[in-house]
Structure 1
Amino acid sequence: MIESTDPPSVIEELVDLSRVAETIQSQLDSFQARHERAGLVLPQDVLQGLRQFNAKLITLRESVTTIEVERRSLRVFAEIGHVVNSSLDLPTVLNEVIDTIIQLTGAQRVFLMLRNARDEMEIYVARNWERESLRPGEYEISRTIVNQVVQHGEAVLTTNAQEDPRFDSMQSVVAYSLRSILCVPLKAKDDLIGVIYADNRIREGIFTESDRFLLSAFANQAAVALENAQLFNDMSMSYDQTLEALVAALDARERETQEHTRRVVLYSMTLARKMGLSEDELIEIRRGALMHDIGKIGVPDAILQKPGPLTEEEWVLMRRHPEEGIRILQGIMFFEGAVDIIGSHHEHYNGNGYPRGLKGEQIPLYARIFSAVDALDAITSDRPYRKAQPFKVAYQEILRCRGTQFDPKVVDAFMTIDEQEWRALRAITLPRERGREPTMEAGGKRGETTR
Structure 2
Amino acid sequence: MGVVFKLVKADRGFLALLDEETGELVPKAVRRREDLTDTSSLTISQGIIKRVMDKGTSLLISDALTDERFKKRDSIVSQNIRSCLCVPLKSRNKILGFIHVDTLTTSDSFSKDDLRLLSAIGAQAGIALENARLFEQVQELMFGSIRALVATIEAKAPYWRYHSQRVADIGVLIAKELGLSPEEQKTVELAALLHDVGKIGTPETILHKEGTLTPQQKAVVHSHSSRGANIISNIKGIEDIVQTVRHHHERFDGSGYPNGLKGVSIPLYSRIIALADAYDAMTSIRPYRENIPLAEVISEIKKKAGEQFDPEIVSALLSALSRQGVEVPEQK
Aligned pair partner of 2:215 in 312, 328, 331: 312
1:232 to partner: Cα distance? 1.2
Tell me, in whole angstroms, the C-alpha distance in 2 between the residues paired with 1:198 and 1:188: 21
Matched, 1:337 2:237: no
Aligned pair partner of 2:316 in 408, 413, 416: 413
C-alpha change, 1:138 and 1:372, in structure 2 (3 Å) is: farther
C-alpha change, 1:419 and 1:254, in structure 2 (3 Å) is: farther
1:137 to partner: Cα distance? 8.1
Match of residue 124 from structure 1: 28
1:129 to partner: Cα distance? 7.4
Aligned pair partner of 1:215 in 95, 99, 118: 118
Q: Which structure would you say has the larger Rg?
A: 1
Tell me, in whole angstroms, the C-alpha distance in 2 between the residues paired with 1:422 and 1:255: 29
Aligned pair partner of 1:287 in 169, 176, 190: 190
Aligned-partner SS, 1:194: strand
Q: How many residues align?
A: 321
1:107 to partner: Cα distance? 3.0
Tell me, in whole angstroms, the C-alpha distance in 2 between the residues paired with 1:240 and 1:319: 26
Match of residue 432 from structure 1: none
Which 4+ stretches in 1 moved above 6 angstroms? none
Match of residue 384 from structure 1: 287
Tell me, in whole angstroms, the C-alpha distance in 1 between the residues paired with 2:253 and 2:172: 24
Matched, 1:276 2:149: no
Q: Matched residues, percent identical?
A: 37
Matched, 1:267 2:170: yes
Tell me, in whole angstroms, the C-alpha distance in 1 between the residues paired with 2:41 and 2:182: 27
Q: Which runs of 5+ in 2 are unaligned?
A: 327-332
Give the alignment of 1:90-129 within 5 angstroms. Answer: 98-116=1-19, 117-127=21-31
Match of residue 250 from structure 2: 347
1:419 to partner: Cα distance? 6.5
1:404 to partner: Cα distance? 0.6
User: Quick one: which amino acid aligns to residue 22 of structure 2?
Assistant: R
1:189 to partner: Cα distance? 2.5
C-alpha change, 1:138 and 1:281, in structure 2 (3 Å) is: farther
Tell me, in whole angstroms, the C-alpha distance in 1 between the residues paired with 2:213 and 2:325: 29
Tell me, in whole angstroms, the C-alpha distance in 2 between the residues paired with 1:422 and 1:252: 32
User: Quick one: which amino acid aligns to residue 220 of structure 2?
Assistant: L
Q: Which runs of 5+ in 1 are unaligned?
A: 1-97, 131-135, 424-451
Match of residue 329 from structure 2: none
1:165 to partner: Cα distance? 4.8
Give yes or no for contact 1:288–1:340 (8 Å, CA) kept in 2: no
Tell me, in whole angstroms, the C-alpha distance in 1 between the residues paired with 2:240 and 2:83: 48
Tell me, in whole angstroms, the C-alpha distance in 2 between the residues paired with 1:324 and 1:139: 58
Tell me, in whole angstroms, the C-alpha distance in 2 between the residues paired with 1:115 and 1:347: 47
Q: Which moved more, 1:239-248 or 1:300-309?
A: 300-309
Q: TM-score scaled to structure 2, two decimals?
A: 0.88
Give the alignment of 1:8-407 within 5 angstroms. Answer: 98-116=1-19, 117-127=21-31, 139-407=42-310
User: Quick one: which amino acid aligns to residue 153 of structure 2?
Assistant: L
1:278 to partner: Cα distance? 0.9
1:296 to partner: Cα distance? 1.2
1:399 to partner: Cα distance? 0.4
Tell me, in whole angstroms, the C-alpha distance in 2 between the residues paired with 1:121 and 1:414: 39
Tell me, in whole angstroms, the C-alpha distance in 2 between the residues paired with 1:215 and 1:317: 62
1:291 to partner: Cα distance? 0.1
Q: Tell me the C-alpha RMSD between the 2 structures.
A: 2.4
C-alpha change, 1:288 and 1:128, in structure 2 (3 Å) is: farther
Tell me, in whole angstroms, the C-alpha distance in 2 between the residues paired with 1:422 and 1:379: 19
Aligned-partner SS, 1:337: helix
Give yes or no for contact 1:187–1:220 (8 Å, CA) kept in 2: yes
User: Quick one: which amino acid aligns to residue 211 of structure 2?
Assistant: G
1:405-435 residue CA offsets vs partner (Å, 9 max, x unmatched): 1111111122223369498xxxxxxxxxxxx
